[in-house]
Structure 1
Amino acid sequence: MPENTFRSPLSASSAPAGTQAEESGRQGASKDNDAPKVPLDQLTETGSVTTRNGRHSLHCLTIIGQIEGHYVLPDNNKTTKYEHVIPQLVAIEESTDIEGLLILLNTVGGDIEAGLAIAELIAGMKKPTVSLVLGGGHSIGVPLAVAAKRSFIAPTATMTLHPVRMNGLVLGVPQAFSYFERMQERITGFVSGNSHMPPERFTQLCLNNDELVMDMGTVLDGEDAVREGLIDELGSLSDAIAALYAMIDEDRRRDGRTVGEPGGEGR
Protein backbone atom coordinates (compact mmCIF):
# COMPACT_ATOMS: atom_id res chain seq x y z
CA MET A 1 0.00 0.00 0.00
CA PRO A 2 1.51 3.41 -0.90
CA GLU A 3 2.66 5.46 2.05
CA ASN A 4 0.55 8.51 2.92
CA THR A 5 2.86 11.44 2.16
CA PHE A 6 0.29 14.14 3.03
CA ARG A 7 1.64 16.71 5.48
CA SER A 8 -0.41 19.48 7.00
CA PRO A 9 0.82 22.96 5.94
CA LEU A 10 0.04 24.20 9.44
CA SER A 11 2.27 21.65 11.14
CA ALA A 12 5.05 22.30 8.63
CA SER A 13 5.04 26.08 9.08
CA SER A 14 4.54 26.07 12.84
CA ALA A 15 7.90 24.35 13.53
CA PRO A 16 10.87 26.56 14.45
CA ALA A 17 13.42 27.26 11.73
CA GLY A 18 16.08 25.14 13.42
CA THR A 19 13.70 22.24 13.76
CA GLN A 20 12.76 22.55 10.09
CA ALA A 21 16.41 22.46 9.07
CA GLU A 22 17.05 19.37 11.19
CA GLU A 23 13.95 17.71 9.78
CA SER A 24 15.05 18.56 6.24
CA GLY A 25 18.47 17.07 6.91
CA ARG A 26 16.95 13.89 8.31
CA GLN A 27 14.66 13.59 5.31
CA GLY A 28 17.59 14.01 2.92
CA ALA A 29 19.59 11.34 4.69
CA SER A 30 16.57 9.07 4.77
CA LYS A 31 16.09 9.43 1.01
CA ASP A 32 19.73 8.59 0.41
CA ASN A 33 19.76 5.54 2.65
CA ASP A 34 16.32 4.11 2.02
CA ALA A 35 16.43 0.85 0.09
CA PRO A 36 13.49 -0.50 -1.92
CA LYS A 37 11.04 -2.13 0.41
CA VAL A 38 10.04 -5.76 0.09
CA PRO A 39 6.39 -6.10 -1.04
CA LEU A 40 4.98 -8.05 1.89
CA ASP A 41 1.79 -9.03 0.04
CA GLN A 42 3.87 -10.73 -2.65
CA LEU A 43 5.96 -12.49 -0.01
CA THR A 44 3.01 -13.82 2.00
CA GLU A 45 0.73 -14.77 -0.91
CA THR A 46 3.17 -16.41 -3.31
CA GLY A 47 6.25 -17.16 -1.20
CA SER A 48 8.41 -15.17 -3.60
CA VAL A 49 10.13 -11.82 -3.54
CA THR A 50 12.20 -9.64 -5.87
CA THR A 51 15.30 -8.09 -4.31
CA ARG A 52 16.94 -4.99 -5.76
CA ASN A 53 19.28 -4.03 -2.92
CA GLY A 54 22.36 -5.92 -4.09
CA ARG A 55 24.60 -5.76 -7.12
CA HIS A 56 21.93 -7.30 -9.30
CA SER A 57 18.16 -7.64 -9.27
CA LEU A 58 17.12 -11.17 -8.27
CA HIS A 59 13.83 -12.96 -7.88
CA CYS A 60 13.63 -15.53 -5.08
CA LEU A 61 11.08 -18.32 -5.59
CA THR A 62 10.35 -20.81 -2.81
CA ILE A 63 9.08 -24.33 -3.52
CA ILE A 64 7.86 -25.72 -0.22
CA GLY A 65 5.62 -28.38 1.27
CA GLN A 66 3.77 -30.50 -1.26
CA ILE A 67 3.54 -29.80 -4.99
CA GLU A 68 -0.19 -29.51 -5.57
CA GLY A 69 -1.64 -31.17 -8.66
CA HIS A 70 -5.05 -30.92 -10.28
CA TYR A 71 -6.87 -31.47 -6.97
CA VAL A 72 -6.78 -28.95 -4.13
CA LEU A 73 -5.07 -30.31 -1.02
CA PRO A 74 -6.54 -29.81 2.48
CA ASP A 75 -5.98 -26.46 4.16
CA ASN A 76 -3.66 -27.96 6.78
CA ASN A 77 -1.10 -28.83 4.08
CA LYS A 78 1.62 -26.43 3.04
CA THR A 79 1.58 -26.46 -0.75
CA THR A 80 3.20 -25.05 -3.85
CA LYS A 81 0.55 -24.40 -6.50
CA TYR A 82 1.55 -24.70 -10.14
CA GLU A 83 -1.05 -22.14 -11.18
CA HIS A 84 0.89 -19.61 -9.08
CA VAL A 85 4.41 -20.64 -10.05
CA ILE A 86 4.00 -21.05 -13.82
CA PRO A 87 2.83 -17.45 -14.48
CA GLN A 88 5.60 -16.18 -12.21
CA LEU A 89 8.22 -17.99 -14.26
CA VAL A 90 6.86 -16.52 -17.48
CA ALA A 91 6.88 -13.03 -15.96
CA ILE A 92 10.43 -13.48 -14.63
CA GLU A 93 11.73 -14.63 -18.02
CA GLU A 94 10.13 -11.66 -19.78
CA SER A 95 11.00 -9.03 -17.16
CA THR A 96 13.65 -6.43 -18.04
CA ASP A 97 14.16 -5.66 -14.34
CA ILE A 98 14.92 -9.17 -13.04
CA GLU A 99 18.37 -10.49 -13.93
CA GLY A 100 18.40 -13.90 -12.24
CA LEU A 101 16.24 -16.48 -10.46
CA LEU A 102 17.08 -18.08 -7.11
CA ILE A 103 14.99 -21.17 -6.26
CA LEU A 104 14.86 -22.31 -2.63
CA LEU A 105 13.51 -25.84 -2.13
CA ASN A 106 12.19 -27.54 0.98
CA THR A 107 9.60 -29.95 -0.40
CA VAL A 108 8.37 -33.49 0.23
CA GLY A 109 7.42 -33.87 -3.44
CA GLY A 110 3.90 -34.20 -4.76
CA ASP A 111 2.14 -34.35 -8.11
CA ILE A 112 4.44 -35.64 -10.87
CA GLU A 113 2.92 -33.78 -13.81
CA ALA A 114 2.74 -30.47 -11.94
CA GLY A 115 6.30 -30.85 -10.68
CA LEU A 116 7.66 -31.76 -14.10
CA ALA A 117 5.79 -28.86 -15.70
CA ILE A 118 7.48 -26.40 -13.35
CA ALA A 119 10.85 -28.11 -13.79
CA GLU A 120 10.60 -27.97 -17.59
CA LEU A 121 9.86 -24.24 -17.48
CA ILE A 122 12.85 -23.57 -15.20
CA ALA A 123 15.13 -25.66 -17.41
CA GLY A 124 13.97 -23.75 -20.48
CA MET A 125 14.69 -20.28 -19.11
CA LYS A 126 17.48 -18.22 -20.69
CA LYS A 127 18.07 -16.14 -17.58
CA PRO A 128 20.59 -17.35 -14.97
CA THR A 129 18.97 -19.77 -12.52
CA VAL A 130 20.36 -21.28 -9.32
CA SER A 131 18.64 -23.74 -6.99
CA LEU A 132 19.37 -24.39 -3.32
CA VAL A 133 17.99 -27.43 -1.49
CA LEU A 134 17.32 -26.69 2.17
CA GLY A 135 15.87 -29.29 4.51
CA GLY A 136 14.63 -31.62 1.81
CA GLY A 137 14.18 -31.94 -1.93
CA HIS A 138 12.38 -35.26 -2.08
CA SER A 139 10.58 -37.19 -4.82
CA ILE A 140 9.50 -34.81 -7.61
CA GLY A 141 11.58 -32.17 -5.84
CA VAL A 142 14.64 -33.86 -7.39
CA PRO A 143 13.81 -32.74 -10.97
CA LEU A 144 12.99 -29.29 -9.64
CA ALA A 145 16.39 -29.05 -7.95
CA VAL A 146 18.37 -30.09 -11.03
CA ALA A 147 16.31 -27.94 -13.43
CA ALA A 148 18.34 -24.83 -12.62
CA LYS A 149 21.54 -24.09 -14.51
CA ARG A 150 23.48 -24.55 -11.28
CA SER A 151 22.37 -26.41 -8.15
CA PHE A 152 23.42 -26.26 -4.50
CA ILE A 153 22.45 -28.30 -1.46
CA ALA A 154 22.97 -27.60 2.23
CA PRO A 155 25.13 -30.20 4.02
CA THR A 156 22.22 -31.15 6.32
CA ALA A 157 19.61 -31.37 3.54
CA THR A 158 18.40 -34.70 2.13
CA MET A 159 16.90 -35.91 -1.14
CA THR A 160 14.83 -39.09 -1.53
CA LEU A 161 14.93 -40.95 -4.84
CA HIS A 162 12.18 -43.54 -5.32
CA PRO A 163 10.01 -45.09 -8.06
CA VAL A 164 6.74 -43.57 -9.23
CA ARG A 165 3.86 -43.95 -6.79
CA MET A 166 0.17 -43.77 -7.57
CA ASN A 167 -2.81 -42.97 -5.34
CA GLY A 168 -6.40 -43.96 -5.98
CA LEU A 169 -7.86 -46.67 -8.20
CA VAL A 170 -5.31 -48.66 -10.21
CA LEU A 171 -6.39 -51.29 -12.74
CA GLY A 172 -4.39 -54.50 -12.62
CA VAL A 173 -3.75 -54.60 -16.35
CA PRO A 174 -0.48 -54.49 -18.33
CA GLN A 175 -1.31 -51.04 -19.69
CA ALA A 176 -1.29 -49.54 -16.19
CA PHE A 177 2.16 -50.90 -15.41
CA SER A 178 3.42 -49.79 -18.81
CA TYR A 179 2.17 -46.29 -18.00
CA PHE A 180 4.10 -46.31 -14.70
CA GLU A 181 7.23 -47.42 -16.52
CA ARG A 182 6.97 -44.69 -19.14
CA MET A 183 6.38 -42.06 -16.47
CA GLN A 184 9.45 -43.24 -14.60
CA GLU A 185 11.46 -43.02 -17.81
CA ARG A 186 10.38 -39.40 -18.25
CA ILE A 187 11.60 -38.52 -14.76
CA THR A 188 14.85 -40.45 -15.20
CA GLY A 189 15.54 -38.80 -18.54
CA PHE A 190 14.94 -35.32 -17.16
CA VAL A 191 17.12 -35.82 -14.08
CA SER A 192 20.00 -37.41 -15.97
CA GLY A 193 19.75 -34.79 -18.71
CA ASN A 194 20.00 -31.90 -16.24
CA SER A 195 22.58 -33.34 -13.83
CA HIS A 196 25.77 -35.40 -13.92
CA MET A 197 24.08 -38.60 -12.74
CA PRO A 198 23.83 -41.37 -15.37
CA PRO A 199 20.30 -42.73 -15.93
CA GLU A 200 21.41 -46.24 -14.92
CA ARG A 201 22.64 -44.97 -11.56
CA PHE A 202 19.47 -42.98 -10.95
CA THR A 203 17.35 -46.07 -11.65
CA GLN A 204 19.55 -48.17 -9.39
CA LEU A 205 19.12 -45.74 -6.49
CA CYS A 206 15.36 -45.54 -7.05
CA LEU A 207 15.02 -49.34 -6.94
CA ASN A 208 17.24 -49.81 -3.90
CA ASN A 209 15.46 -52.06 -1.37
CA ASP A 210 18.18 -52.16 1.30
CA GLU A 211 17.71 -48.73 2.85
CA LEU A 212 14.04 -47.85 3.44
CA VAL A 213 12.11 -50.20 5.74
CA MET A 214 8.66 -49.97 4.16
CA ASP A 215 9.58 -48.64 0.73
CA MET A 216 12.05 -48.71 -2.15
CA GLY A 217 14.51 -45.93 -2.82
CA THR A 218 17.54 -44.08 -1.48
CA VAL A 219 17.97 -41.08 0.80
CA LEU A 220 20.96 -38.90 -0.10
CA ASP A 221 22.35 -36.25 2.22
CA GLY A 222 24.12 -33.18 0.88
CA GLU A 223 27.54 -34.74 0.44
CA ASP A 224 26.10 -37.90 -1.12
CA ALA A 225 24.01 -35.89 -3.59
CA VAL A 226 27.12 -34.02 -4.77
CA ARG A 227 29.26 -37.17 -4.84
CA GLU A 228 26.66 -38.98 -6.97
CA GLY A 229 26.56 -36.10 -9.45
CA LEU A 230 22.94 -35.23 -8.71
CA ILE A 231 23.71 -31.75 -7.33
CA ASP A 232 26.58 -29.52 -8.43
CA GLU A 233 27.90 -28.20 -5.11
CA LEU A 234 27.51 -28.09 -1.36
CA GLY A 235 26.68 -24.59 -0.21
CA SER A 236 24.42 -22.16 1.56
CA LEU A 237 22.54 -19.00 0.66
CA SER A 238 25.62 -16.82 0.18
CA ASP A 239 27.19 -19.42 -2.12
CA ALA A 240 24.04 -19.64 -4.26
CA ILE A 241 23.75 -15.85 -4.56
CA ALA A 242 27.46 -15.51 -5.41
CA ALA A 243 27.07 -18.12 -8.16
CA LEU A 244 24.02 -16.32 -9.52
CA TYR A 245 25.88 -12.99 -9.55
CA ALA A 246 28.77 -14.62 -11.42
CA MET A 247 26.39 -16.03 -14.03
CA ILE A 248 24.75 -12.62 -14.49
CA ASP A 249 28.15 -10.95 -14.88
CA GLU A 250 29.14 -13.54 -17.46
CA ASP A 251 25.95 -12.86 -19.42
CA ARG A 252 26.71 -9.14 -19.31
CA ARG A 253 30.23 -9.70 -20.65
CA ARG A 254 28.90 -11.86 -23.45
CA ASP A 255 26.33 -9.21 -24.40
CA GLY A 256 28.83 -6.34 -24.13
CA ARG A 257 27.12 -4.74 -21.14
CA THR A 258 28.73 -3.24 -18.03
CA VAL A 259 29.59 -5.87 -15.43
CA GLY A 260 28.68 -5.42 -11.78
CA GLU A 261 26.35 -2.44 -12.11
CA PRO A 262 23.09 -2.69 -10.17
CA GLY A 263 19.85 -2.60 -12.08
CA GLY A 264 18.01 -4.42 -14.81
CA GLU A 265 19.22 -6.14 -17.90
CA GLY A 266 19.66 -2.93 -19.82
CA ARG A 267 17.81 -4.10 -22.87
Structure 2
Amino acid sequence: MTAVTSAPTRFSTALYVFAWLSFLAEVIIIATGGTVRLTGSGLGCTEWPLCTPDSLVPTEAMGVHGVIEFSNRLMSTVVGVLALVVLVLVWRRRAERRDLFVLAWIVLGGVLAQAVAGGVTVWTGLNAFLVAFHYTASLVLVCVAAAFLVRLYEPAGPRERAVPRGYAALVHATSLVLAVTIAFGVLTTSNGPHSGDADVVRNGFDATILAHVHAWPGYILLALTLAIAGIAWARRLPTRRWSLAFLGALAVQIFVGVWQANTALPPLLVGIHMVLAALTSAAYVVVVLRLKRPARA
Protein backbone atom coordinates (compact mmCIF):
# COMPACT_ATOMS: atom_id res chain seq x y z
CA MET A 1 0.00 0.00 0.00
CA THR A 2 1.37 3.46 -0.87
CA ALA A 3 2.11 5.72 2.08
CA VAL A 4 0.50 9.14 1.88
CA THR A 5 0.72 12.35 3.82
CA SER A 6 -2.07 14.78 4.58
CA ALA A 7 -2.29 17.86 2.40
CA PRO A 8 -1.32 21.25 3.82
CA THR A 9 -4.17 23.19 5.38
CA ARG A 10 -5.31 25.98 3.10
CA PHE A 11 -5.84 29.37 4.69
CA SER A 12 -7.06 32.67 3.35
CA THR A 13 -4.69 34.61 1.12
CA ALA A 14 -4.74 37.36 3.72
CA LEU A 15 -3.08 35.13 6.30
CA TYR A 16 -0.19 34.30 3.98
CA VAL A 17 0.25 37.97 3.11
CA PHE A 18 0.15 39.22 6.68
CA ALA A 19 2.36 36.40 7.95
CA TRP A 20 5.05 37.47 5.48
CA LEU A 21 4.51 41.14 6.34
CA SER A 22 4.85 40.31 10.03
CA PHE A 23 8.14 38.50 9.42
CA LEU A 24 9.50 41.37 7.32
CA ALA A 25 8.42 43.91 9.94
CA GLU A 26 10.26 41.95 12.65
CA VAL A 27 13.41 42.18 10.53
CA ILE A 28 12.89 45.86 9.69
CA ILE A 29 12.48 46.87 13.32
CA ILE A 30 15.92 45.41 14.03
CA ALA A 31 17.22 47.75 11.34
CA THR A 32 15.37 50.75 12.76
CA GLY A 33 16.42 49.87 16.30
CA GLY A 34 19.99 49.60 15.10
CA THR A 35 19.66 53.01 13.47
CA VAL A 36 18.57 54.47 16.79
CA ARG A 37 21.60 53.03 18.52
CA LEU A 38 24.18 53.70 15.82
CA THR A 39 23.15 57.34 15.29
CA GLY A 40 23.32 58.12 19.01
CA SER A 41 19.53 58.55 19.20
CA GLY A 42 18.89 56.12 22.04
CA LEU A 43 17.68 58.93 24.30
CA GLY A 44 16.23 61.00 21.46
CA CYS A 45 12.98 60.59 23.39
CA THR A 46 13.91 61.02 27.02
CA GLU A 47 10.72 59.48 28.41
CA TRP A 48 8.48 56.48 27.84
CA PRO A 49 5.68 56.01 26.87
CA LEU A 50 5.73 59.76 26.17
CA CYS A 51 8.60 61.20 24.19
CA THR A 52 9.10 64.11 26.60
CA PRO A 53 7.46 64.80 29.97
CA ASP A 54 4.89 66.96 28.16
CA SER A 55 4.63 65.52 24.66
CA LEU A 56 3.85 62.18 23.04
CA VAL A 57 5.78 63.15 19.91
CA PRO A 58 9.25 64.71 19.58
CA THR A 59 9.47 68.48 19.72
CA GLU A 60 11.46 70.66 17.36
CA ALA A 61 14.07 71.25 20.07
CA MET A 62 14.89 67.52 20.15
CA GLY A 63 16.18 67.60 16.57
CA VAL A 64 16.84 64.61 14.35
CA HIS A 65 17.61 62.24 17.25
CA GLY A 66 14.08 62.63 18.55
CA VAL A 67 12.65 61.91 15.10
CA ILE A 68 14.79 58.76 14.71
CA GLU A 69 13.87 57.41 18.13
CA PHE A 70 10.17 58.18 17.69
CA SER A 71 10.17 56.56 14.24
CA ASN A 72 11.36 53.33 15.82
CA ARG A 73 8.52 53.55 18.31
CA LEU A 74 6.08 53.96 15.43
CA MET A 75 7.59 50.90 13.78
CA SER A 76 6.90 48.99 16.99
CA THR A 77 3.24 49.87 16.56
CA VAL A 78 3.28 48.54 12.99
CA VAL A 79 4.89 45.29 14.17
CA GLY A 80 2.27 44.92 16.89
CA VAL A 81 -0.66 45.56 14.55
CA LEU A 82 0.61 43.01 12.03
CA ALA A 83 1.11 40.41 14.77
CA LEU A 84 -2.44 41.05 16.00
CA VAL A 85 -3.88 40.67 12.49
CA VAL A 86 -2.09 37.33 12.05
CA LEU A 87 -3.51 36.10 15.36
CA VAL A 88 -7.03 37.18 14.40
CA LEU A 89 -6.76 35.48 10.99
CA VAL A 90 -5.64 32.18 12.51
CA TRP A 91 -8.13 32.34 15.40
CA ARG A 92 -10.92 30.38 13.68
CA ARG A 93 -8.55 27.54 12.84
CA ARG A 94 -6.98 27.36 16.29
CA ALA A 95 -8.47 23.93 17.06
CA GLU A 96 -6.97 22.21 14.01
CA ARG A 97 -3.79 24.30 13.86
CA ARG A 98 -2.85 24.79 17.47
CA ASP A 99 0.81 25.07 16.45
CA LEU A 100 0.13 28.22 14.42
CA PHE A 101 -2.13 29.61 17.10
CA VAL A 102 0.57 29.24 19.76
CA LEU A 103 3.27 30.75 17.54
CA ALA A 104 1.03 33.71 16.70
CA TRP A 105 0.44 34.32 20.41
CA ILE A 106 4.18 34.16 21.11
CA VAL A 107 4.89 36.80 18.47
CA LEU A 108 2.16 39.15 19.69
CA GLY A 109 3.09 38.66 23.34
CA GLY A 110 6.75 39.17 22.51
CA VAL A 111 6.03 42.42 20.69
CA LEU A 112 4.11 43.77 23.67
CA ALA A 113 6.88 42.69 26.05
CA GLN A 114 9.44 44.30 23.78
CA ALA A 115 7.63 47.63 24.01
CA VAL A 116 7.90 47.53 27.79
CA ALA A 117 11.53 46.41 27.61
CA GLY A 118 12.27 49.36 25.35
CA GLY A 119 10.70 51.70 27.87
CA VAL A 120 12.74 50.24 30.74
CA THR A 121 15.86 50.62 28.59
CA VAL A 122 15.14 54.34 28.24
CA TRP A 123 14.37 54.71 31.96
CA THR A 124 17.73 53.14 32.87
CA GLY A 125 19.71 55.41 30.56
CA LEU A 126 20.48 52.66 28.00
CA ASN A 127 21.86 50.05 30.36
CA ALA A 128 24.16 47.83 28.25
CA PHE A 129 22.61 44.58 29.44
CA LEU A 130 19.07 45.81 28.74
CA VAL A 131 20.12 47.01 25.29
CA ALA A 132 21.56 43.55 24.64
CA PHE A 133 18.38 41.85 25.88
CA HIS A 134 16.22 44.15 23.77
CA TYR A 135 18.08 43.18 20.60
CA THR A 136 18.21 39.48 21.47
CA ALA A 137 14.47 39.40 22.07
CA SER A 138 13.89 40.98 18.66
CA LEU A 139 16.09 38.34 17.06
CA VAL A 140 14.12 35.58 18.78
CA LEU A 141 10.86 37.06 17.46
CA VAL A 142 12.27 36.98 13.93
CA CYS A 143 12.96 33.27 14.44
CA VAL A 144 9.45 32.59 15.77
CA ALA A 145 7.90 34.48 12.85
CA ALA A 146 10.04 32.38 10.49
CA ALA A 147 8.84 29.20 12.21
CA PHE A 148 5.25 30.36 11.75
CA LEU A 149 5.83 30.75 8.01
CA VAL A 150 7.36 27.29 7.71
CA ARG A 151 4.49 25.62 9.55
CA LEU A 152 1.94 27.68 7.62
CA TYR A 153 2.89 25.84 4.44
CA GLU A 154 2.87 22.40 6.07
CA PRO A 155 -0.03 20.11 7.02
CA ALA A 156 -1.29 19.71 10.55
CA GLY A 157 -0.65 16.60 12.59
CA PRO A 158 2.31 14.69 14.02
CA ARG A 159 5.76 14.83 12.48
CA GLU A 160 8.50 12.23 12.14
CA ARG A 161 12.27 12.42 11.79
CA ALA A 162 13.31 12.77 8.13
CA VAL A 163 17.10 12.58 8.54
CA PRO A 164 19.57 10.15 10.14
CA ARG A 165 19.77 10.40 13.92
CA GLY A 166 23.45 11.40 13.89
CA TYR A 167 22.80 14.21 11.45
CA ALA A 168 19.96 15.53 13.59
CA ALA A 169 22.28 15.48 16.62
CA LEU A 170 24.88 17.46 14.67
CA VAL A 171 22.32 20.10 13.72
CA HIS A 172 21.08 20.46 17.28
CA ALA A 173 24.64 20.70 18.61
CA THR A 174 25.26 23.46 16.08
CA SER A 175 22.28 25.32 17.53
CA LEU A 176 24.18 25.67 20.79
CA VAL A 177 27.27 27.03 19.02
CA LEU A 178 25.06 29.49 17.11
CA ALA A 179 23.52 30.68 20.39
CA VAL A 180 26.94 31.18 21.98
CA THR A 181 28.19 33.08 18.93
CA ILE A 182 25.19 35.40 18.99
CA ALA A 183 25.46 35.91 22.76
CA PHE A 184 29.07 37.07 22.56
CA GLY A 185 28.30 39.13 19.49
CA VAL A 186 25.53 40.96 21.32
CA LEU A 187 27.78 41.56 24.33
CA THR A 188 30.50 42.87 22.03
CA THR A 189 28.20 45.32 20.30
CA SER A 190 26.45 46.48 23.46
CA ASN A 191 29.82 47.29 25.06
CA GLY A 192 31.34 48.78 21.92
CA PRO A 193 31.78 52.41 20.89
CA HIS A 194 28.20 52.83 19.67
CA SER A 195 26.54 53.34 23.04
CA GLY A 196 23.28 54.70 21.66
CA ASP A 197 23.73 58.22 23.00
CA ALA A 198 26.63 60.66 23.21
CA ASP A 199 26.24 61.00 26.99
CA VAL A 200 26.24 57.25 27.72
CA VAL A 201 29.57 55.76 28.78
CA ARG A 202 30.11 52.00 28.87
CA ASN A 203 32.02 50.66 31.85
CA GLY A 204 31.33 46.98 31.31
CA PHE A 205 33.33 44.38 29.43
CA ASP A 206 36.29 45.13 27.20
CA ALA A 207 34.78 45.16 23.71
CA THR A 208 38.14 44.43 22.07
CA ILE A 209 38.58 41.21 24.02
CA LEU A 210 34.94 40.28 23.45
CA ALA A 211 35.39 40.71 19.70
CA HIS A 212 38.08 38.02 19.70
CA VAL A 213 36.03 35.73 21.96
CA HIS A 214 33.03 36.26 19.67
CA ALA A 215 35.11 35.17 16.65
CA TRP A 216 36.13 31.78 18.10
CA PRO A 217 32.67 30.15 18.22
CA GLY A 218 31.92 31.93 14.94
CA TYR A 219 34.62 29.99 13.11
CA ILE A 220 33.55 26.75 14.81
CA LEU A 221 30.02 27.51 13.63
CA LEU A 222 31.26 27.93 10.06
CA ALA A 223 33.02 24.54 10.18
CA LEU A 224 29.91 22.81 11.54
CA THR A 225 27.73 24.50 8.93
CA LEU A 226 30.01 23.29 6.14
CA ALA A 227 29.59 19.76 7.51
CA ILE A 228 25.81 20.13 7.75
CA ALA A 229 25.48 21.40 4.20
CA GLY A 230 27.97 18.89 2.79
CA ILE A 231 26.26 15.89 4.39
CA ALA A 232 22.82 17.15 3.39
CA TRP A 233 23.76 17.45 -0.27
CA ALA A 234 25.76 14.22 -0.36
CA ARG A 235 22.83 12.26 1.07
CA ARG A 236 20.08 14.40 -0.53
CA LEU A 237 18.46 15.21 2.79
CA PRO A 238 15.46 17.57 2.99
CA THR A 239 17.63 20.16 4.73
CA ARG A 240 20.00 20.59 1.80
CA ARG A 241 18.62 23.79 0.24
CA TRP A 242 18.16 25.64 3.50
CA SER A 243 21.49 24.43 4.87
CA LEU A 244 23.07 26.03 1.81
CA ALA A 245 21.08 29.22 2.41
CA PHE A 246 22.25 29.24 6.01
CA LEU A 247 25.84 28.67 4.94
CA GLY A 248 25.66 31.56 2.48
CA ALA A 249 24.14 33.92 5.03
CA LEU A 250 26.72 32.91 7.63
CA ALA A 251 29.60 33.43 5.19
CA VAL A 252 28.38 36.96 4.40
CA GLN A 253 27.89 37.60 8.11
CA ILE A 254 31.48 36.57 8.90
CA PHE A 255 32.79 38.69 6.02
CA VAL A 256 30.96 41.77 7.29
CA GLY A 257 32.09 41.05 10.85
CA VAL A 258 35.75 40.86 9.87
CA TRP A 259 35.38 43.93 7.67
CA GLN A 260 33.83 46.06 10.41
CA ALA A 261 36.40 44.90 12.97
CA ASN A 262 39.22 46.05 10.70
CA THR A 263 37.67 49.41 9.78
CA ALA A 264 36.98 50.83 13.27
CA LEU A 265 33.35 49.63 13.37
CA PRO A 266 31.60 51.99 10.91
CA PRO A 267 27.91 52.32 11.91
CA LEU A 268 26.57 51.12 8.56
CA LEU A 269 28.51 47.85 8.72
CA VAL A 270 27.52 47.30 12.35
CA GLY A 271 23.87 47.78 11.39
CA ILE A 272 24.16 45.34 8.48
CA HIS A 273 25.83 42.85 10.83
CA MET A 274 22.90 43.13 13.25
CA VAL A 275 20.28 42.51 10.56
CA LEU A 276 22.28 39.65 9.03
CA ALA A 277 22.42 37.94 12.42
CA ALA A 278 18.62 37.85 12.48
CA LEU A 279 18.32 36.57 8.91
CA THR A 280 21.02 33.95 9.50
CA SER A 281 19.21 32.72 12.61
CA ALA A 282 15.90 32.59 10.73
CA ALA A 283 17.49 30.47 8.00
CA TYR A 284 18.80 28.11 10.65
CA VAL A 285 15.34 27.77 12.16
CA VAL A 286 14.13 26.47 8.81
CA VAL A 287 17.01 23.96 8.74
CA VAL A 288 15.98 22.66 12.17
CA LEU A 289 12.32 22.38 11.18
CA ARG A 290 13.29 20.47 8.03
CA LEU A 291 14.74 17.72 10.23
CA LYS A 292 11.19 16.40 10.49
CA ARG A 293 8.36 15.87 8.02
CA PRO A 294 4.64 15.22 8.40
CA ALA A 295 4.09 11.68 9.66
CA ARG A 296 2.96 9.25 7.00
CA ALA A 297 -0.57 7.91 7.26
TM-score (normalised: structure 1): 0.30
Structure of larger gyration radius:
1
Bigger relative contact order, structure 1 or 2, given CA contacts below 8 A and separation 6+?
A: 2
More helix by share: 2
